[in-house]
Amino acid sequence: MKLCVALDLPSAKENLDLAKILKSEDIWLKIGLRSYIRDGKPLLEKLKAISPHFKLFLDLKIHDIPNTMADAAESMANLGVDMFNIHASSGKKAMSMVMDRLSGVQNPPLVLAVTALTSFDESSFAAIYGESIDNKVSQFSKDAYESGLNGVVCSVFESNLIKNSTTKNFLTLTPGIRPFGESAGDQKRVADLVTAKNEQSDFIVVGRPIYQSNDPLGVTQKILENI
């Protein structure tokens, strides 16, 4: 299991300061829409310069027509990131075209599919997709697997289920982790490290329990010792 730290701080400086504190650790860093739109490629370069151990996950959740997605995938690969994500609801053709395009790239990044955004409840989800979240997550995961993606972003409670319906090696990346039972904040369904391990999550995403702590390095090291 790998630890992915969410760089969700309000400025590039604060994100870079956190990265400097964590530079000795073998971790992934998640850069989301807000940070990437604001700070762009220079932020990625500065993070890589802080530590060669860092792996970068660009969390932009791409969703567009197949050709545009394949172009965007190539651009993201050229940024030198180690992983990015796209929406499974963009469809199998778009997902396959993304993977085809990356087959021509040296050291292609891992590609994950977003299944169901956790901000949906059953009724708001059904209003768009016309199905239950569970059914659709299974179908999206199968679609992503058959399209050659490396894995999915999902709730920790769906990880085992997804592996059972695809393969053990199909990666799951799970946000909403409160490693040692910290405050959930706005997350609805949180899980600790023991649960994430039992659910065979490959990547856990942790934000606030690290960057809001008085000792981000200490918390990070404690998580790494326990995974």
Residue identified by tokens 């469809």 is 91
If phi over 0 gives left and psi between -120 and 50 gives alpha, with beta otherwise, what is residue 120? beta
Q: How far is the CB of 104 from ligand C5P (least distance, A)?
A: 29
Residue with tokens 């702590």: 213
Residue ranges that bind ligand C5P, judged by CB under 6 A = 6, 8, 32, 117-118, 153, 175-176, 185, 187, 205-208
Nearer to ligand C5P, 74 or 82 (CB): 82
* Min CB(100)–ligand C5P separation in Å: 26
Shortest Cβ 48–ligand C5P spacing (Å):
20
Residue nearest to ligand C5P (CB): 207
Q: Is 39 helix (H, G, I), strand (E, B) or coil?
A: helix
Residue 32 or 80 with smaller CB distance to ligand C5P: 32
Grouping H, G, I as helix, E, B as strand and the rest as coil, residue 87 is strand
**Contact (Cβ atoms closer than 8 angstroms) between residue 82 and residue 55:** yes
Q: Least separation, in Å, of the C-beta of 14 and ligand C5P?
A: 14
Helical axes 33-50 vs 12-21, angle rounded to 10°: 40
Q: Which residue, 119 or 169, is less far from ligand C5P as judged by CB?
A: 119
Structure tokens at 98: 């993304």
Strands (E), the chain: 2-6, 28-32, 55-62, 83-87, 110-114, 151-153, 171-174, 203-206
Which among 32, 34, 128, 33 has a CA at the least distance from the CA of 89? 128
Q: Which of 2, 61, 92, 142 is catalytic?
A: 61
**Is 61 noted as a catalytic residue in this protein?**
yes
| Closer of 205 and 219 to ligand C5P (Cβ) | 205
Catalytic residues, which ones? 61
